[in-house]
Structure 1
Amino acid sequence: KLFVESLQKHGHVVAMTGDGVNDVPALKKANASIAMASGSDAAKNASNIVLLDSDFSSLPSVVNEGRRVINNIRSASSMFLIKTAFSVVLSILTVLLSQAYPFQPIQLTIISIFSIGVPTFLLQFEPNFERVDGKFLRVAFRNAIPSAMAIVFGILIGMAIESMYDFPMKVMSTFNAIQTGIIYTFTLYMVYRPLSKYRFAIIFTMQVLLALAFLFGANFLGLTSLPFNLIVTIIVYSAFSILLVKGFKVIFEKIIKSLGY
């Protein structure tokens, strides 16, 4: 028990394994307590995990599975938080500026399918055994907020263009959907770095499918052809958004550190 307490005081997460009554105090004190099935009932009742085969060599696979779940959920939550963040900001802006919401619901649905739902589901099965660093929310928000702000800025640019040229709402919703889809799929590359062959194949396939959905499902999705100046704007802003997202990440990190997190 004293060993466990000493390690914890030095900032370690401590696991304790045992099978006897004399191990119970240390098992209760440890962050994770592991008992053998062949051990005493007191040890098993005091433990978080009981090894049914009484084989300690099975623990590395248990740890790896926990790391895989936590790390993959953190990456997936970053993608879900992007939509939450920019939707909240856009809702406030549309009320304050008395503007119509810049998307049709079906457009956000198709973007979410190929940028969040399908890729994050498939990438959950990938091995990811990096050590859990305890910065779940910090990393999730660091990945999500910069991309959400880049999407919002892109839509604000669209609102400015609309006020200058008086484009129809269908044209502007098409503009917003395309630039949002581009930033979303680019964010997948950033969140899931370093890219393995499996990750690259999944993300690239999702980009192709999203492009095909926009191309062949235009009528169903409420999309229309864009004038040349809007196409150029999408290309230029999409390239610029890469730098914008990286810049927002640096600013976000500085703010977090200044707050002591």
Structure 2
Amino acid sequence: MPPTPQDRRAARHQAGPATPAGRRGPSGGRKQPITVDLIISTAFGIIETEGYEALTMRRLAVALETGPSSLYAHVVNKEDLDELLIGRLCAEIPLPAPDPAAWRTQIAGVCTRLRDQYLRYPGISQATFAAAPSNLDTLRVSEGMLAILLAGGIPPQVAAWAIDSLTLYVNAYSLEVSLANRRAARSDDGWVISRDEMLRRIAALPETFPQTKRYGAELTAGTTHDRFDFTIALLLDGLPAANPHSTGT
């Protein structure tokens, strides 16, 4: 019986690096052997220049000067590739030793670093939605977040669901910012407007929007990262800590 996708994923964590086979280009010259690391690096290059939506197995094969079928000797499918990409980003996130006196600051820091990793590659956080992570590097981050919350006195069930809420927000925020930045980069896109224009539009609203007209400045205030920090703090403020002295402030 051939190995299942789960078997092939698990083998990457158990076996040592395989010796890559050499290959030749169209002109007969030697090309860099295809490895999982090369596939991941090339995929990141595509995302960085063209966006996550451009990444397909066929597009990746073209970039590697090979056929799509040859990639499946190294990755199971596109979902497996997504998991490898997110895992590579998570591997670069430093995790602090849990400190009961600073748990809020530590959790907010992990969320910020995760956000910054996603924003390096436009739209890549889309790969995290509806996915149950099994990559060890990805699980390492959730393990670290769980340890921090537990050290802060957060009950285990609350901590587990808090991680889900926090990461979902980070993923959605990163995707929205990537989409907005891409739209802003298109000079012909008239839907991108400045804050001043937003304020003018709000001021011109009919009187059936009295609160929006009155608080237009507040509704449009702050940078996107200001709003990120506010929402992370809002989520953390709602967590019931078992130890009232573990505030992290």
* TM-score (normalised: structure 2): 0.28
More helix by share: 1
Q: Which has the larger radius of gyration?
A: 1
